[in-house]
């Protein structure tokens, strides 16, 4: 009976080494790897695919990842790091996503889509519903000059 227990523990150790590459993980242990790194000079940014290994956690927050990546790439302002599109692998323990690191905050505001700026807290969400904004736009199309500015 003891031989069976030792075989199971050996199997577990082998599996951890095979899948995770290490024997044990602590709760804080998160490994971040970058792939497909491109320095995009036209958009003044660095872009890459991020692989995150988090075997003991369901997921890692984007703020933690942004600070970790900021340390890896010597980023001066953490607000210039944008993370999105993360998918957790089936079974957990690993996630993949996309990362953009802009040279300055001005370039980030210039090239990032509005919804990502709103998520990051760099822009405000437009007020009113989608239908109200559309109706106002169509009313403005029918007017000319000073009448357009009176509408709003």
How far is it, in rounded angstroms, from Cα 74 to Cα 61? 20
Side-by-side strand order, sheet with 81-88: 31-40, 45-53, 94-102, 81-88
pLDDT (0 to 100) of residue 57: 83
Can you give the pTM of this predicted structure?
A: 0.70
Paired tokens of 61: 């927050």
What's the rounded mean pLDDT across residues 101-108?
95
Tens-digit pLDDT profile for residues 53-88: 988 888 888 998 999 899 989 999 889 999 999 999
Using an 8 Å Cβ cutoff, are 100 and 73 in contact? no
pLDDT (0 to 100) of residue 25: 39
Tens-digit pLDDT profile for residues 2-38: 444 444 556 666 566 665 544 343 446 888 999 999 9
């Amino acid at each position: 009976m003891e031989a069976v227990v030792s075989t199971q523990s050996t199997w577990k150790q082998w599996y951890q080494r095979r899948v995770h590459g290490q024997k044990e993980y602590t709760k804080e242990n998160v490994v971040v790897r970058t792939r497909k790194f491109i320095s995009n000079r036209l958009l003044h940014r660095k872009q890459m695919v991020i692989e995150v290994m988090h075997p003991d956690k369901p997921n890692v927050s984007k703020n933690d990842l942004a600070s970790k990546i900021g340390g890896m790439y010597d980023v001066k302002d953490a607000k210039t790091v944008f993370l999105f599109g993360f998918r957790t692998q089936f079974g957990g323990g690993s996630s993949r996503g996309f990362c953009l690191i802009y040279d300055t905050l001005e370039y980030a505001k210039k090239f990032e889509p509005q919804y990502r700026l709103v998520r990051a807290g760099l822009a405000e969400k437009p007020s009113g519903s989608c239908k109200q904004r559309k109706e106002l736009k169509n009313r403005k199309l029918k007017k000319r000059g000073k009448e357009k500015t009176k509408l709003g």
